[in-house]
Structure 1
Amino acid sequence: MVHNKESESEPAVYRYTRTASAVLTHLVCIVFTVCIALLSRPGSSLFSWHPVFMTLPYSSSPPTAPSSKDFHTRLKGRAHWILQCLCVSCLVLGLAAISYNKHLNGKPHFTSWHGLLGLLTVCVVGLQSMGAVPLIYHSLAKGWSLAKLKRYHATSGLVTYLLCSVSLLLGLCSAWFTASVGEYTWYLSALCPALSALVIMNQVTSAYMAKKRLQY
C-alpha cells in the first residue's frame, strides 16, 4: 500500500527541534574541545598533543541527521569525506604522540581500557572513512543500491561515534584529567560526550526510520 508522503512527513516542530539540537551539539563539542586544549596546553609537552588531537575530530564533524531536501548533496558528501580524512589524520597523530611519549618514558602500551578502546576506535574510524568510497563512486559497489549503502554507512557511522564517545569518557577517567579538574567540573565534562552521543543516536535512527516509512 502506498501512503501519501504529505501525510507521512513529520511535523515542522520536529524538524526545527532536530536542527536546534544539532546546532547545540556542535557548540557543546566545540566548547568541550577548547576546554581540553586549554587544560592540556598543547606544546608544553609531548603528551599535551594527545588530548588535543584526540578531541579535535570529535568536535569538528559530529554526524547530523540526513535530509532529502538538502541541496548540493554530492558536494557535501565529498566535503564530509575530506573532513573524515582530516579526522583520521588527527587521530593517528594523537595516537603517535601518546605512543612515543610512553616509549620515551619506558611505560607499557595499551594496558588500560581507554588505551585499548582508543586503539580500536582509531582503526574503526579509518575503516568507516574508507566505507565512503562506494558512496562517492557508486560504480564500485555493483549490486548494492545507493539507499542501502547510505543506510549501512549511517549505521556504522553511529557505532563509530558511540565508540569515540565511550573512549573519551574513559579518557576523562584518566589520572591526568581527574587530577587537573575538580569533581563538579569532571561531571560537567563527562556530560558533553554523553549528551552529544544521545542526540546523535536519536537523530540518525529517527531520520532513517522516517525515511523507511515513506517507502511504504
Structure 2
Amino acid sequence: MAVNNIESESEARIYGFTRRASAVLTHFICIVFSLFIALMSRPGTSLFSWHPFLMTLAFSFFMTEAVLIFSPHGSPIKGFSHKTKSRVHWILQCLCVSCAVLGLAAIFSNKHLNSKPHFTSWHGLLGLLTVCVVALQSLAAVPLIYHSLAKGWSLAKLKRYHAASGLITYLLGSMSLLLGLCSAWFTASVKDYNWYLSALCPAVSALMIMNQVTSAYMAKKRLKA
C-alpha cells in the first residue's frame, strides 16, 4: 500500500512538472515568435509591415496568453479569483480582436493602394474568416461576464460552448499564421531550417493550448462522473 502511494506521488510530481514546463514553454514560444515577426516586419516602415506584426501580436501573443490565464500550471495570475481571471481573459481577447481588425485593415488598404485583388489566397480567405470568428467569439463571451443576459442558459453550459468554440477559433488563428509563413514575403527572407523553426512555433502552441482545454474539460467530466 505504501509503495503504491509513493508511486502515485511520484507520478503526480512528474505530471505536475511536465504540465508546468509545457505552460512555460508556451509562454516562451508566443513571446519569442511575436518578437521575431516584429523584427522581421519592422512595423512602421511600410503600410504592409503592420499586417504581419499586428496579426502575430493578436493570434500568437494575446490569444495564447488569454487562454493561459486559466492554466492551473502556468497562469501568470494563478492566485487570483476566477472572476478576475475572466476579466483579464476578456481584456486580452479584446486586444486580440483590436490587433486583428487593424491588421486586416492594413493589408486591405495596402492592396487597395497597390491595385491588387483582395482575398485571392487561402491565407487571405482563412485570415478574414478568423478575424470574423474571433470578433464573434469575444462578443459571445459577454453573457459569461453578465450572466443575466443569457436567460435560459446555465453558466456551465455557456462555459462549455465557449471553451469548444474558443479552441476552434485558436486553431483557426494558428492555421492562419502557418499559412502566413508560406507567403512570398516570409519565404523570401526566412529559409531552410529557420523556416521550420518558425513554423513549429504556432504548431506547438496550438498543441499545448488544445491539450490544456481538452484536459480541463475531461477533468470536469470525471468529477461529474
TM over 0.5: yes
Distance in 2 of aligned mates of 1:132 and 1:175: 36
Q: 1:66: how far off?
A: 4.9
Deviation of residue 119 (structure 1)? 0.1
Counterpart CA distance in 2 for 1:215 and 1:31 is 39
Distance 1:12 1:129, change over 3 A: farther
Q: Which residue matches 1:139? A: 148
Match of 1:11 in 2: 12
The worse-fitting range, judged by mean Cα deviation, of 18-27 and 120-129 is 18-27
What is the 5 A alignment of 1:1-216?
11-57=12-58, 58-62=60-64, 63-64=67-68, 66-67=71-72, 71-216=80-225
The answer to whether the 8 Å contact 2:23/2:71 transfers is no
Counterpart of 2:103, as a letter, is G
Structure 2, gaps ≥5 residues long: 1-7, 73-77
Structure 1 residue 15, shift from structure 2 partner: 3.5
CA distance in 2 between partners of 1:22 and 1:131 (Å): 26
Distance 1:39 1:66, change over 3 A: closer
SS, match of residue 180 in structure 1: coil
Aligned residue for 2:188, secondary structure, equals helix
CA displacement 1:75-118 (0-9 Å, x = unmatched): 11111111111111100110000000000100000000000000
For 1:89 and 1:15, locate their aligned partners in 2 and report how far apart those are by CA, in whole Å.
Answer: 35
Query: What is the SS of the residue equivalent to 1:207?
Result: helix
What RMSD, in angstroms, separates the aligned Cα atoms of the two structures? 1.7
CA shift in 2, pair 1:148/1:11, >3 Å:
farther
Distance, in Å, in 2 between the alignment partners of 1:93 and 1:99 is 10
Give the corresponding residue for 2:5. none
Identity %: 75
Given that 2:62 and 2:95 are in contact with CA atoms closer than 8 Å, whether structure 1 keeps it comes out as no
CA contact under 8 A between 1:32 and 1:192: conserved in structure 2?
A: yes
Q: Distance in 2 between matches of 1:182 and 1:206?
A: 36
Deviation at 1:60, TM superposition (A): 2.6
Q: Flag the structure with more relative contact order, 1 or 2, with Cα contacts below 8 A and sequence separation at least 6.
A: 1
Deviation at 1:149, TM superposition (A): 1.1
What TM-score do the two structures reach when normalised by structure 1?
A: 0.91
